[in-house]
Amino acid sequence: MDERWIRRLNTLQIVVVAILILLPIAWMLLGSFKPSSQVTAYPPKLFFAPTLDNYRQLFQTTPFAHYTWNSAVVTVGSTLIGLLLGVPAAFAVSWTRINWPATVTLLARMAPGTLFLLPWYLVFRELGMIGSYWALILTHAVITMPIALWVLLPFFDSIPRSVLESAQVDGCSVPRILWRIALPLVMPGLVVSAILAFVFSWNYFLFALVLSNGDTKTLIAASFNFIGEGATYWGALMAAATLIALPPLVLAFIVQRRLVAGLAIGAVKG
Amino acid sequence: MSQSIGTRRQLYALSTPAVVFTLALIAFPFGYTIWLSLHEVAMGAAPRFNGVANYAAMLRDAEFWNGLWITFALYLLSLLLQLVFGTWIALLLHGAKRLSGLVRTLMISPFVLPPVVVGMMWLVILDPAIGAANWLLQQGGLPRSDWLASPTWVIPTIALIDTWQWTPYVALIVLGGLQGLPPNVYEAAQIDGASRARIFRRITLPLLLPTLVTAAILRSVDLLRFFDIIYITTQGGPGNASNTLNIYGFRKGFEFFEIGYASALMITLSTIVLGAVLVLTQARKRVAW
C-alpha cells in the first residue's frame, strides 16, 4: 500500500473517532430541543421542528435557577478558598523544597470521597452545618486546593532563583515578593489553576449529595432528582444536562492546551 | 545563597493556612475514618471499640466480595479499553498533519463534562425500549440489548461509557509522549528498512511504556473509586450487579447508617487504590529510559 493511501485511511479513522466522540453530545443537544411528543419517539427522530419548550419547562417546574445559584456560590467560593490557600503554599513549597504538605493533599486525590464524607458528616452534623453553604464550600475546597497547589508548583519552579533573591537583597519581604514579583510571572498558571478548580468543583457530585439540603442543593446533586422524573420529561432532562455541561465546556476550551497536564496533578512529580 | 531564618519563617507562615486546612479537612478525617472503622458506631450512642470486628465481618460478607470482584472487573476492563484505544488514537493523530488540531479540541469535551451529565446523556441513549443505541443495533441486524438494565451487560456498558469519556484523555497523554520521543531513532530504523508494525513493536512501544504507565496510574485512581456514573444510572443495580466497593460503602454509610462498617470498607478501598498506585509507580521506574 502506498504512502498516500495510508494517509487517507488515517484521516478516515480520525473522522470516525471524532464522530464517535461528538455523537452522544450532539444527541443530548438535539434531545433538549425536541418537542415532547418526539423525544420518546421510536425509531428516534433526527429531523423535527426545534423548540425551547424543554428549557421553559425546566425553569417553570423545577427550581433550576435556584440550583444554579447554589452551584455558583459553592463553586466560586471553593475556587477562591482553594486559590487563597493553594497559591502561597505552592510558592512556599517551590522555594523551600519541603514537599510533604503537597504530598499530603494527594490523599484527597487517592482516597474515595466517601472516606472523607463519613467523618465530615458526623462533624458537620455535630456543628449543625449540614445543609449550609459553608459545609459545601469547605469540602469542595478539598478538591480545589490541591489543584491550585499542584498546577502552580511547576510555574513557580520556573522562576529563576536569582530574581527572588535579588528582590530580597533589595529588602522585599517574602509575602511582598510573592505578590509583586512571583504572581505576575505565574499569571498563566493562575488562570489555568482557577479554571481547573472551577471545573472540578462545579462537576463534583458526591459531597453535595449528602451535605446539602433542598435549599442548598447544587445543580449536579439536583440532577439526581431530575432523573427520577426523567421517565416522563426526557426533553427537560436533556435541557438540564446541556445547561449544566455548558460552563465546564466553555472554560475548558479556553485552557485546552494546559488541560491535560493540569489534570495529571501529582503524577508528573510522582 | 542560603535561606535566612527570617525568610524561612515567612515562607512557613505563607503555607500555614494550607497546612492547617489540609490537616483539618484531609489528614484528620482520614485518621478519624480509620478510628471509626475500629468501632461500632450507632446513631445516638457513643462509638464502642470493637477491634477488627468490622473487618472480620467484611471478610464474611458476600456483598463485599461481590463488590471487590465488580470493582476489579470494571477497573481492568475499562483500563484495557482506554489504553488500547487511547494509544491507537494518539498514533492516528501523531501521523496526521491536518485535522489533528481541530480533533484535539473536540477530544477535550468528553472528559470535562460532569460525570453526572455523562450518566444522564447515556441513560437516554441506552434506554432499552426507545434508546438510540438499540435502534442502531437493529439497523445493523443485531439483537437489542438491555444495556444498563441487564445484570450481565451492566458492567461492560459502564466500562464503555467511561471509555467514551476518558479515552480522549489517555490519547492526549500518549500523544504528548509520542511527541517527546527522539526522532533520530525512527530515522535509523527507517533507513534499516524496518516495517511499520516492527517499528511500533520494537521502538515506539517500549519508549512509550513510561507514558502508558503514567496514564494507567491516573486512570487507576479514578476507576477503582468509580462512583458518579454508577450512582446516577444504576445505583449498584440491577440487583447488585454494579455494586462496586465505593457504591457499597456509600450506601452502607448513608442509607443504612452503618458508619463503622462503611469506614472499614472505605479504608480497605483506599488501601487498594494506594497499593495500585505504588505497584504502578514501581513499574514506571522499571520501564523508564
Answer with the residue of higher pLDDT: B17 or A1.
Answer: B17
Low-confidence stretches of chain B (pLDDT < 50) are 1
| pLDDT score of A263 more than 80 | no
**Measured torsion, CA atoms of residues B218, B224, B226, B227, in degrees rounded to the nearest 10:** -120
Is B176 touching A (CB cutoff 8 A)?
yes
Give the pLDDT confidence score for residue B1 in this predicted structure: 44
A interface test, pick of B2, B120, B195, B246 with most A CB neighbours within 10 Å: B120
DSSP readout, A10-71?
A: HHHHHHHHHHHHHHHHHHHHHHHTS-HHHHT-SSPPS-----SHHHHHHHHHS-HHHHHHHH
Q: Which helix (H) or strand (E) holds B39?
A: strand B39-40
- Unique residue bearing C-alpha cell 496533578: A265
Question: What burial letters (b/e) apply to B27-52, b meaning 16+ CB within 10 Å?
Answer: eebbebbbebbbbbbeeeeeeeeeee
Is A10 touching B (CB cutoff 8 A)?
yes
Give the pLDDT confidence score for residue B3 in this predicted structure: 66
Is A103 touching B (CB cutoff 8 A)?
no
Give the pLDDT confidence score for residue A267 in this predicted structure: 58
- Give pLDDT tens digits for B47-72: 899 989 999 999 999 999 999 999 99
Spell out the residues 6+ positions from residue B25 whose beta carbon is closer than 8 angstroms to its own.
A116, A120, A138, A139, A141, A142
Task: Report pTM.
Answer: 0.92
Which residues 144-183 in chain A show a CB within 8 A of chain B?
A: 145, 149, 165, 168, 173-175, 178
Cell of A243: 445547561
CA distances from A78 to A102, A146, A152, B17 (A): 18, 12, 17, 15
- Give pLDDT tens digits for A191-219: 999 999 999 999 999 999 999 998 999 99
Identify whether the C-beta of residue A35 lies closer than 8 Å to the C-beta of residue A53: yes
| pLDDT score of A149 more than 90 | yes
CB contact under 8 A, A14 and B99: yes
Which residues 180-219 in chain A show a CB within 8 A of chain B?
A: 199, 202-203, 205-206, 209-210
Which residues 13-42 in chain B show a CB within 8 A of chain A?
A: 13-15, 17-19, 21-23, 25-30, 32-33, 36
- Region A69-85: mean pLDDT is 97
B76-81 long-range Cβ contacts below 8 angstroms, 24+ apart: B77/B155, B77/B156, B77/B159, B78/B159, B78/B162, B78/B163, B78/B166, B78/B219, B78/B223, B79/B216, B79/B219, B79/B220, B79/B223, B81/B159, B81/B160, B81/B163, B81/B167
Q: What is the CA radius of gyration of chain A?
A: 23
CA distances from B239 to B66, B123, B227 (A): 12, 18, 17
| pLDDT score of A231 more than 70 | no
Spell out the residues 6+ positions from residue A226 whose beta carbon is closer than 8 angstroms to its own.
A62, A233, A236, A237, A240, B120
Identify whether the C-beta of residue B234 lies closer than 8 Å to the C-beta of residue B257: no
Is A246 touching B (CB cutoff 8 A)?
no
Cell of A124: 458537620
Identify whether the C-beta of residue A99 lies closer than 8 Å to the C-beta of residue A270: no
Band of residue A5 on the pLDDT scale cut at 50, 70, 90: confident
Give the pLDDT confidence score for residue B189 in this predicted structure: 75
Is A113 touching B (CB cutoff 8 A)?
yes
Calculate helix-pair angle for A53-61, A234-254, nearest 10 degrees.
100
Give the pLDDT confidence score for residue A133 in this predicted structure: 97
CB contact under 8 A, B164 and A210: no
Instruction: Say what the ipTM of the complex is.
Output: 0.91
B99, B110, B225 ranked by CB distance to A112: nearest? B225
Answer with the residue of higher pLDDT: A90 or A170.
Answer: A90
Rounded Cα–Cα distance for residues B198 and A222 (Å):
52
Give the pLDDT confidence score for residue B2 in this predicted structure: 52
Is B260 touching A (CB cutoff 8 A)?
no
Which chain B residue's Cα is nearest to A44?
B132
Spell out the residues 6+ positions from residue B154 whose beta carbon is closer than 8 angstroms to its own.
B147, B148, B234, B237, B238, B241, B242
What's CA B246's distance to the chain center, in Å?
12
Cell of B198: 516492527
| pLDDT score of A268 more than 60 | no
CA distances from B107 to A84, B60, B90 (A): 31, 44, 11
CB contact under 8 A, B274 and A110: yes
Give the pLDDT confidence score for residue A201 in this predicted structure: 96
Band of residue A270 on the pLDDT scale cut at 50, 70, 90: very low
CB contact under 8 A, B29 and A244: no
Is A9 touching B (CB cutoff 8 A)?
no
